[in-house]
Amino acid sequence: MANLKPLDGIRVLDLTNVLAGPFCCHQLVHFGAEVIKVEAAGRGDLARQLGLDAQLNEKMMGVSFLAQNAGKKSVTVNLKHDAGKDLLKRLVATADVLVENFRPGVMDRLEVGYEKLKESNPALIYCAISGFGQDGPWTHRPAYDQIIQGASGVMSITGDADSAPLRVGYPIADTVGGMTAAFAISAALNAKPRGTFIDVSMLEAVMATMGWAISNHLIAGVAPQANGNENPTSAPSGAFKAADGLINIAANKDEQWKLLCEHIGREDLMTRPEFATREDRKTNRLALKAEIETALSSRPARDWAKELNKIGVPAGAVLTVPEVLEMPQIADRGFLARFEDVPGVDRDIEVVRTGVKLDGEAPAVHAPPPELGQDNETIWAELGLSGEEIAELKSKGTI
């Protein structure tokens, strides 16, 4: 079914900032939800001022904002004003979902927490994303992605013996937290009757993805270690030096091990007792790696990868971000969205969509990321406010 939009007709209020919450709502808008960013009057989402293009930051359309907010609408409101609280409650009455990522307790102190808002809409799905969850001894600690990476154990197992603990190279905690929230919201939308409070802990969301590492400790009694580019469960499995860079090879099965040895002209490795079994190869993995690299060093990584994949040995050159974006596998599958002459940016931009296709179609949105408050007139008028009332609220700093 072309252009399938499973969340058509669902209205989501996005009260979030920076990444975890916006990433959550980025998923929802691509699946058809109407997502309205409810931003702080005069300031907006902090991500509007973040990114590696200083001029866009000054325009309140920072790269970090553009990355996760295509297809959304934007209204502004000051929740410290009574009139602002009233506006939010009236908007909540029209919504199915509200997402926020303030510190626990902030929304309650503003008198617009879940208990208050469900008076306006008992069927409301309220999703609170926070670093550590809504209860527990760490609940009021400030949390950013790197804090969660460190607290979760991720940094302790990233890098190698010389470099660990090491931060993962992108905000994995924010994005995993946001994806977890989107999954929970989608599940809650299927409940009958609707109406629930979802508590997403970024810490727990990240640790839930670490099942293999954590279970080695819980079940096998082996504390996870930083293994660098080596896969500790098999050998040869990891990153190897070729003539021009690294190639990942995962010869995890005995037949793949044999095919690899034959293809690189090192059949002799199969006859050596220290490499006879999977366990032997794991024990002597560094010596094995050195032997394999002597053969791989004669040719480029991409050439080896193409040949090894052809014979059934999983392999792939280690690419940079610009390199992979140029590959047909990405460039030809609709993963990137292009918006022309974006208002507030005044140039064309490209941003990522989702990693999903539905019946062969990549879910897409047709509107670029919004300027701050660009939908104030329309959305507040839908609630019955006149042009004069909207103008007065604006003059008072309520919107």
Size (the chain), residues: 399
Verify whether residue 174 is a known catalytic residue.
yes
Report the DSSP beta bridge partners of residue 128.
Answer: 100, 199
Torsion region of 234: left, alpha or beta (phi above 0 gives left; psi -120 to 50 gives alpha) = beta
CA distance 351 to 362: 13
Cβ proximity of 225 and 157 under 8 Å: yes
**Calpha distance 30→28 (Å, rounded):** 5
Q: Which residues contact 148 (CB under 8 A, 6 or more apart)?
A: 131, 154, 173, 177, 202, 203, 206
The structure tokens listed for 17 are: 């900032």
Partners of 109 in beta bridges? none
Which letter, b or e, does each residue of 86-107 get, where b requires 16 or more Cβ atoms within 10 Å of its Cβ? ebbbebbeebbbbbbbbbbeeb
Give the number of other Cβ atoms within 10 Å of residue 335's Cβ.
Answer: 16
Which is the catalytic residue, given 45, 174, 199, 375? 174
How many other C-beta atoms lie within 10 A of the C-beta of residue 195?
14
Cα 231 to Cα 197, 200, 263, 362: the distances in Å are 39, 30, 21, 32
CB-based contact 272:329 (threshold 8 Å)? no
Task: State how far the Cα of 170 lies from the Cα of 316, in Å rounded to an integer.
Answer: 21
Q: Which of 145, 100, 16, 62 is nearest to 351 (CA)?
A: 62
C-alpha separations of 319 from 200, 260, 307, 316, 323 in Å: 33, 21, 17, 9, 6
d(CA 324, CA 336): 12
Q: Are 128 and 134 in contact (CB under 8 A)?
A: yes
Largest CA distance in the chain: 86
Phi/psi for 127 (5° steps) reads -115, 120
Which residues are known to be catalytic?
A: 174
